[in-house]
Structure 1
């Protein structure tokens, strides 16, 4: 039997990545998921609640992937960071320059609002930044890194990749991500 809640989240992810949050009507999500209005409201209180859950699930998945890369003790800490951002480069922007990152796609649309989606996005990004900062702190302690402010570097790298993904999509130029990788490598060497 089809998991309708997950089908709606999957449909929402696909449609919102294509059209933005405001650009996707509730009925479009429901139709894409082959659901009904009643089934939507069984799982979600409103479209905004749906967006909050969608972002929460997105961050949970992304953090799990990030933990996999950063926790891989078969390679150096520097290589873990490089592998993670290689994954980012290959997965967050399609070959035809469509953004596959909800943070990049929605940041401008919901930032500055006081709704729960903004809070969920802020909390999720802080978790990503902290996980990378923790790796840098551990690396400093083991003399793998000499990073003066691990949290600041983590925030800077995350911002670099968000912005570079957006710019690469806008300019249809994957070299922008290659430049972000070179900046990343320089900053952790």
Structure 2
């Protein structure tokens, strides 16, 4: 018999695939459990309801996402500016390597649940705020190191850039082109953060 954690993760992974392919509300529990290959009783051993499952899926997805992004932005072997560049260039690399269709259930769940489920909305907001906080700290460090000319409030910049990034990612999928993201990243460093010349 598999350890509890493995069974829970299998159900979450199946849910992620099903929701990515369709949507949160369009996926029934039977479809998710058939994909996971586990009996219905297993679901209610780990999740109180479908909404509880959705909440845990959000937390599971954002924990991994935030950990990866935080690693890029806090890697002290790079200067603050280069950490920012690594963070955004990694987004471009991801799409080039995995294709231009976003393989993530979170954006769909944001659109579907943020106005209907306060608990899920709070979990998503917490994730976005946490990521913006780390981004803001790195921007702040780049300002202190005099690597960028923009002296606007770092928290405001991080929230604006993060929000714009979500829209750009949607545009990448609509256009099926990486160009909008490449243009956005170039704009961030040239016009928003105003990267200073190293010469």
Whether TM exceeds 0.5 here: the answer is: yes
State the Cα distance separating 1:92 from its structure 2 match: 5.8
- Write the mapping of 1:13-162 to structure 2, written as runs, cut at 5 A: 13-91=16-94, 95-145=98-148, 146-162=150-166
RMSD: 1.9
Distance 1:102 1:93 in 2: 19
Contact conserved, 1:92 with 1:165, CA < 8 A, in 2? no
Where structure 2 has 5 or more consecutive residues not aligned to the other structure, the ranges are none
Correspondent of 2:177 among 170, 173, 177? 173
Call closer, same or farther: CA 1:75–1:150 in 2, change over 3 Å. same
- Structure 1 residue 54, shift from structure 2 partner: 0.7
Tell me the equivalent position of 1:7. 10
Give the gaps of 5 or more residues in structure 1. Answer: none
CA apart distance, 1:93: 7.8
**Distance in 2 (alpha carbons) for counterparts of 1:102 and 1:157:** 21
TM-score for the superposition, normalised by structure 1: 0.90
CA distance in 1, matches of 2:96, 2:56: 23
Larger Rg: 2
Shift of 1:159: 1.2
Once the two structures are overlaid, the 10-residue window that deviates more, 146-155 or 81-90, is 81-90
Work out whether residues 100 and 172 of structure 2, in 8 Å CA contact, stay in contact via their aligned partners in 1. Answer: yes
TM-score (norm 2): 0.86
Question: Could you tell me how far apart the structure 2 residues matched to 1:105 and 1:162 are?
Answer: 12
How much has 1:96 moved relative to structure 2? Answer: 4.4
